[in-house]
């Protein structure tokens, strides 16, 4: 019996695949590399010393998906595959609705045809929109404010309807807060295309000299220093959260949403300070206008995940920054280069 991991070549998917393989699970990955590189799969194999089956299939290709279910005995699915850029979703809403929603509908139809009804879904804290208060708990009213967030909110509703139509389904909706960091090996990490939209990849590209300075979007929020606050969570803690959620969906029936966050918020200036400390590099920055549509302060109440999944995030902010930096310094151009390089004892990549 195996697990199907959609989007397993991506940032969060690749880290989860490592944890799953290390925990002894048999996995099948499907990805169309629309936002990832084949090299990430080599790195997963290298870290774990284990192999897996891979399909280069688009979730929009339902026949391709069906053949995966015919050729493998799939017991449950972790569904990471999706487009995730807020700004791009505003410019290209149809692409986002088609990819994220139709991709998920295809997946669920094929799962249903094959009697596979266990699903762990990558949702997002963006479904909460601009919350009335913090910390945010799962009972808050949802109100995504952009097409990307609305795809997540709609998929949550579709999956809830699916469970209500057939109580044999078991679905965990994991609402991630702000995943950062990388695997300790420095071999896998976040590899954004072009100019990063998110804070952490931007800071680390400034630190490594790829970008000149960081724009800090606004300093007039009701936070300690006026800059925006987020709940940053180490991607390995997030990956482990998926294993806990998987156990829950394999053991019980139902549809449930869980916040995966630390419950602690850090401001932009605090993140810069932490990153400067671990990297020993100065991060030049300037305050600019707030980013349109940004929310000020956002952090999770993660108690439900603790009580019902037995999960908490252990890794602190310093470790998140250290691991991001190790990945960045070892892979200044992400997965693009280094396909034939080796790693020394202290995790520095050298040519062979
Ligand atoms: P990512 O882009 O690194 O990974 C997503 C993967 O899915 C990529 O490898 C991409 O090639 C693949 N993919 C996309 N559409 C596909 C399709 N139609 N068919 C097959 N493969 C497809 O993103 P990530 O950061 O690893 O995020 C994983 C999931 O978590 C996404 O659904 C994202 O929306 C969600 N999420 C991410 C964050 C974050 O900050 N990274 C926060 C909240 C939620
Ligand atoms: N941010 C910033 N400069 C950047 C990118 C982000 O000041 O170049 C701020 C942003 O306004 C927010 C925080 O950093 O307060 C986290 O932003 P990110 O895009 O990483 O996450 P999101 O806003 O989607 O939660």
Query: pLDDT grade, residue 336 (50/70/90)?
Result: confident
For residue 255, the SS3 value is strand
Residue 228 Cβ inside 6 Å of ligand 2? The answer reads yes
Looking at the CA of 86, name the nearest ligand: 2
Q: Does pLDDT of 344 surpass 70?
A: no
Looking at the CA of 6, name the nearest ligand: 1
**Which atom of ligand 1 is nearest the CA belonging to 178?**
40
CB 72 within 8 A of CB 53: yes
Pocket test for ligand 1, best of 30, 34, 173, 299 (most atoms within 8 A of CB): 34
Residues in the ligand 1 pocket, defined by CB under 6 Å: 7, 9-13, 31-36, 58-60, 80-84, 99, 103, 122, 124, 176, 179
**Which atom of ligand 1 is nearest the CA belonging to 33?**
11
Q: What is the pLDDT of residues 56-73, one digit of tens each?
A: 999 999 999 999 999 999
Give the alpha-carbon dihedral of 250, 256, 257, 263, to 10 degrees. Answer: -80
pTM: 0.96
Q: Which pLDDT value is given to residue 1?
A: 76
- Each domain of the chain, given as residue ranges in start order, spans 2-351
Residues with catalytic function: 148
Spatial distance between the Cα atoms of 117 and 215, rounded to a whole number of angstroms: 45
- Over residues 24-39, the mean pLDDT reads 98
Residue of the CA atom closest to atom 29 of ligand 1: 80
- Over residues 26-35, the mean pLDDT reads 98
Q: Does pLDDT of 339 surpass 80?
A: no
CATH superfamily of 2-351: NAD(P)-binding Rossmann-like Domain (3.40.50.720)
Instruction: For residue 31, give the nearest of 54, 11, 51 by alpha carbon.
Output: 54
Query: pLDDT grade, residue 337 (50/70/90)?
Result: low
What is the distance in A from the centroid of ligand 2 to the CA of 296? Answer: 10
CB 163 within 8 A of CB 171: yes
What is the distance in A from the centroid of ligand 1 to the CA of 7? Answer: 6
For residue 157, the SS3 value is helix
């Amino acid at each position: 019996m195996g697990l199907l991991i959609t989007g397993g070549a991506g940032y969060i998917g690749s880290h989860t695949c490592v944890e799953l393989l290390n925990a002894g699970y048999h996995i099948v990955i499907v990805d169309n590399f629309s936002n990832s590189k084949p090299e990430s799969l080599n790195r997963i194999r290298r870290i774990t010393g284990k192999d897996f089956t891979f399909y280069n299939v688009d979730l929009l290709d339902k026949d391709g998906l069906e053949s995966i279910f015919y050729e493998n005995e799939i017991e449950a699915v972790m569904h990471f595959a999706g487009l995730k850029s807020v700004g791009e979703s505003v410019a290209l809403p149809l692409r986002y609705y088609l990819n994220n929603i139709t991709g998920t509908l295809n997946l669920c139809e094929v799962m249903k045809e094959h009697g596979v009804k266990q699903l762990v879904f990558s949702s997002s804290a963006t479904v909460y929109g601009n919350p009335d208060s913090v910390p945010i708990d799962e009972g808050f009213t949802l109100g995504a404010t952009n097409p990307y967030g609305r795809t997540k909110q709609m998929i949550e509703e579709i999956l809830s309807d699916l469970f209500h139509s057939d109580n044999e389904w078991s679905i965990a909706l994991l609402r991630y807060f702000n995943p950062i960091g990388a695997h300790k090996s420095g071999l896998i990490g976040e590899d954004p295309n072009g100019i990063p939209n998110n804070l952490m990849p931007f800071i680390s590209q400034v630190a490594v000299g790829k970008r000149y300075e960081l724009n800090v979007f606004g300093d007039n929020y009701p936070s300690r220093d006026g800059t925006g606050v987020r709940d940053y969570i180490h991607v390995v803690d997030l990956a482990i959260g998926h294993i806990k959620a998987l156990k829950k969906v394999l053991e019980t029936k139902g549809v449930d949403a869980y916040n995966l966050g630390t419950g602690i918020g850090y401001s932009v200036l605090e993140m810069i300070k932490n990153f400067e400390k671990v990297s020993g590099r100065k991060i030049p920055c300037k305050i600019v206008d707030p980013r349109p549509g940004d929310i000020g302060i956002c952090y999770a109440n993660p108690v439900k995940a603790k009580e019902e999944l037995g999960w908490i995030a252990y890794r602190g902010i310093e470790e998140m920054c250290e691991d991001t930096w190790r990945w960045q310094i070892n892979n200044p151009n992400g997965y693009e280069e280094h396909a034939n390089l080796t790693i020394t004892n202290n995790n520095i990549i050298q040519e062979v």
